[in-house]
Amino acid sequence: MKILGIDLGTTNSAMAIVEAGEPKILENHEGNRTTPSVASLSKTNERLVGLLAKRQSVVNPKNTISSVKWLR
């Protein structure tokens, strides 16, 4: 049985599995080991997460969530 460990960080998140007894961080679709902890609903009602959500945060700040731990 494979176990997936997820670190949901304030700024970035990461996922890891244990392979041959050693932890291995998985790369995301863009080939990065960490993914920005950002989620957004775009102007066309598309759900965006990670880098894509971060890239459009400037133009869509109302519907973009980041740094969740510090939301008040």
Partner 1 sequence: MAEDIKNNNTPNDKERDINDKSPTYNYVGDENVLDKCQKEKDEYLDGWKRAKADLINYKKDEAKHFEIIAKFSQEAIIKDLIMVLDSFDLALAALEKENKAENGIYLIRTQLEDILKQHGLERVIISVHQPFDPSLQEAIVSIDSDQPSGTVIEEVERGYLLHGKLVRPARVKVIK
Interacting residue ranges for partner 1, rule: CB under 8 A: 19-20, 30-31, 42-44, 48, 52-53, 55-59
Q: What gap in Å lies between CA 26 and CA 2, rounded to an integer? A: 13
Closest to partner 1 by CB, 14 or 50:
50
Q: How many residues are there in the chain? A: 72
Closest to partner 1 by CB, 5 or 61:
61
Nearest approach, Cβ of residue 23 and partner 1 (Å):
15
Taking a C-beta distance cutoff of 8 angstroms, is the pair 47, 39 a contact? yes
CB atoms within 10 A of CB 14: 18
Closest to partner 1 by CB, 59 or 72:
59
